[in-house]
Amino acid sequence: MTLSKRTYKVIDLLRLIAQASPICMMLNIILSIIHTIMSTAIMALATANFVDTATVILKGERPHDDIYIPLFLLLLVLGVNTTIGAVVQLVGSRINLNLQRKLKPVMVRIHAALEFKHIENAESWELISRVSRDPIKSIMDGFGALIQFMQIMISVVSILILIVAHVWWAAITIIAFSTPMFILSTWAGKKNYQAGREAEKFNRRTEYLNEVLTGRDAVDERTLFGYGNNVSKRWQEQYEAGRILQLKVMAKTFIILKCSSLLLALIALLIALTLISPVVSGELSAGMYMGIVSVVFSLINQLGWQMSWALEHISKAGEYMRDLSAFIMLNDDEGALSEPDIEPISLNMLEFRNVRFRYPSSERYILDGLSFSLQAGRHYAFVGKNGAGKTTITKLITGLYKDYEGEILINGKELRQYPASTLKAMFSVVYQDFAKYYISLRDNIAIGNLADMTAPCLTDVIKFAGLDETIAELKDGIDTPLGKILEGGQDISGGQWQRIAIARSLNSRAPVKMLDEPTSALDPISESQIYSEFEKLMEGKTTVLISHRLGSTKLADEILVIDDGKVIERGTHDELMGQNGQYANMFEAQRGWYQ
């Protein structure tokens, strides 16, 4: 199954389902049509037949035994109808399953292949979350609504045909009065939908507050600051605001729909009363009278609530399909899903030439005429204030953002000309907010080198990263699942997670290793120790250390001071101290951290 880049409309929902589950979809539609006709026209005819035969029998004009066939037919219609209803439900769950099996993986693939900028951008992230939250439910709800709408239309037509055949004027009266009812239902459906969208804003907030109140991530601070009651109050306020908003609209549409269906009920009553005279005069049989009257009343019910529900959900599905189109149209990154090359190419020289860059959501240039070059086998440090653009540089080097101005040359060739798999194999970064994978400690490290996941011997990496003690403390050693997701999982400390992230990077075969303040949660002295151990370990390799804490980076062969998107100073620690510039000032200011 595929999702091509184009605009999807509500009706395309049927196409998606047809791709995932063609037979079940056809079966569902056919059975729903049969179910509708059976429960309206056929039911009315069977009722009429039964009542008329019973009347004749009661008059003594036919033998008692003649009632069996009409009774059997009536029961047959009822039985078949109930069975079809159950089969339709069964077929529906089969469609659901097929969509889960075929559409969900396609959606996940599109999501995973999206360009990094869409994930970082708040607006596109909201769209992505909306579309991915529950795609199958949104599509199935839309499908259900379309079927419901079709059923209502079929029942209206079949009931009208039945009535026209017997009392044509009643049919005209019903059409005249049901048209405004139809318009009202459309209106109510739309209003409910808009209110739902408005309330979604509050739902998102309550979801977030709920996570803060009950989730594991915030448990420490929740206990420490004791903000539970306060947040709980806010949660309640947001919840109430959303609920009241929806309630108001529901109450309004309820009153209007109920009043108008009351009016229609009156009309139906009038029809029932006026049809008495043709019954008395013998133009209409008593059975047909009962059949028509009962289906007219059920029609009124359908024109009110069911119609409004169907239209509301069709609007919702339309909105979902619009979002889905926008989601599919987002640029994908051809290389996002590619694995790193097995054999990384070696780096001789990395050069930034007058690079300017701003994030897609902002007008401000974060890097503004940045130029520097790095040579293989040396240790570099990027230092500078928070927000100076240091992390942004790593994002450009690793190819996460490619729409920069100027040139980034790797071994003299423009970075954009390298396939993503080559860049992935060349650089390994331990980010400040490195990922914690709730899998075994071994796999946490092994995924750093996908080409050799089964590497039996991670001993060196474990030793270098200082994880020996941690592993000794774990129940099943290196194979212990971390976190609480897998059975037997164990929690470890923030510092231990940091060491695992560093081990993962060490295990990667990338010739250039970058540490982007993954140790910022540690105190300056511990950070400084980890950085100097890392430097020793990486002897002869190219490394880039990033920090705003200068004591940690002073051992680097060369230090680049970044400010306002440019390199303002460059040299060894001693050279920079001698220059008495920004580096020296910052170092002096931080001196106390290391004493």
Q: What is the arrangement of strands in the sheet containing 427-430, beginning at the earlier edge strand?
A: 427-430, 512-516, 542-547, 379-383, 558-563, 566-571
| Whole-angstrom Cα Rg for the chain | 35
- As a 3-state breakdown, the chain gives helix, strand, coil percent values, each rounded to 5, of 65, 10, 25
Q: Decide if residue 390 touches ligand ADP (CB under 6 A).
A: yes
Stretch that binds ligand ADP, among 18-26, 78-86, 207-215, 360-368 (CB under 6 A): 360-368
Q: Decide if residue 368 touches ligand ADP (CB under 6 A).
A: no
Q: Rounded CA gap, 144 and 314, in Å?
A: 9
Q: Rounded CA gap, 160 and 125, in Å?
A: 49
Q: Decide if residue 124 touches ligand ADP (CB under 6 A).
A: no
Cα–Cα–Cα angle for 239, 240, 243, nearest 5°?
A: 85
Cα dihedral across residues 9, 11, 15, 20: positive or negative? positive
DSSP string covering 541-560, please? SEEEEEES-HHHHTTSSEEE
> Which residue in 22, 215, 387, 578 binds ligand ADP (CB under 6 A)?
387
Stretch that binds ligand ADP, among 86-94, 228-236, 258-266, 355-363 (CB under 6 A): 355-363
Q: Decide if residue 386 touches ligand ADP (CB under 6 A).
A: yes
Stretch that binds ligand ADP, among 28-36, 165-173, 335-343, 383-391 (CB under 6 A): 383-391
- Nearer of residues 387 and 477 to ligand ADP, judged by Cβ: 387
Q: Rounded CA gap, 200 and 385, in Å?
A: 39
Cα dihedral across residues 459, 465, 469, 472: positive or negative? negative
Number of chain residues interacting with ligand ADP (CB under 6 A): 13
> Which residue in 144, 242, 389, 551 binds ligand ADP (CB under 6 A)?
389
- Nearer of residues 392 and 470 to ligand ADP, judged by Cβ: 392
Q: Rounded CA gap, 423 and 236, in Å?
A: 49
Shortest distance in whole angstroms from residue 177 CB to ligand ADP: 57
> Which residue in 99, 366, 461, 538 binds ligand ADP (CB under 6 A)?
366
Q: Rounded CA gap, 462 and 477, in Å?
A: 12
Q: Decide if residue 155 touches ligand ADP (CB under 6 A).
A: no
> Which residue in 66, 120, 368, 557 binds ligand ADP (CB under 6 A)?
120
Q: Decide if residue 363 touches ligand ADP (CB under 6 A).
A: no
- Nearer of residues 120 and 443 to ligand ADP, judged by Cβ: 120
Neighbours of 381 (CB within 10 A): 25
Shortest distance in whole angstroms from residue 186 CB to ligand ADP: 42
Pair 341, 125: CB distance under 8 Å: no
| Residues 277 to 306 in contact with ligand ADP, rule: CB under 6 A | none
> Which residue in 4, 281, 362, 417 binds ligand ADP (CB under 6 A)?
362
Give the strand pairing for 566-571 and 413-414.
unpaired
The single-letter code of the amino acid at 570 is R
Shortest distance in whole angstroms from residue 368 CB to ligand ADP: 11
- Nearer of residues 120 and 237 to ligand ADP, judged by Cβ: 120
- Nearer of residues 437 and 531 to ligand ADP, judged by Cβ: 531
Q: Decide if residue 388 touches ligand ADP (CB under 6 A).
A: yes
- Nearer of residues 241 and 568 to ligand ADP, judged by Cβ: 568
Closest CA to 138 of 104, 182, 112, 88: 104
Cα dihedral across residues 312, 317, 320, 326: positive or negative? negative
- Nearer of residues 36 and 391 to ligand ADP, judged by Cβ: 391
- Nearer of residues 125 and 225 to ligand ADP, judged by Cβ: 125
- Nearer of residues 187 and 359 to ligand ADP, judged by Cβ: 359
> Which residue in 21, 96, 391, 543 binds ligand ADP (CB under 6 A)?
391
Q: Rounded CA gap, 454 and 203, in Å?
A: 44
Give the strand pairing for 413-414 and 405-410.
antiparallel
Stretch that binds ligand ADP, among 194-202, 253-261, 266-274, 382-390 (CB under 6 A): 382-390
Stretch that binds ligand ADP, among 31-39, 135-143, 238-246, 389-397 (CB under 6 A): 389-397
Measure CA 9 to chain center: 19
Tokens encoding 262: 């009351």
DSSP string covering 413-446, please? EEGGGS-HHHHHHHEEEE-TT----SSBHHHHHH
Q: Decide if residue 229 touches ligand ADP (CB under 6 A).
A: no
What is residue 474's three-state secondary structure?
A: coil
Shortest distance in whole angstroms from residue 420 CB to ligand ADP: 19
> Which residue in 39, 40, 138, 392 binds ligand ADP (CB under 6 A)?
392
> Which residue in 361, 371, 459, 585 binds ligand ADP (CB under 6 A)?
361
Q: Decide if residue 370 touches ligand ADP (CB under 6 A).
A: no
> Which residue in 227, 254, 359, 431 binds ligand ADP (CB under 6 A)?
359
Residues of the shown chain interacting with ligand ADP in the complex, contacts defined by CB under 6 A: 120, 359, 361-362, 366, 384, 386-392
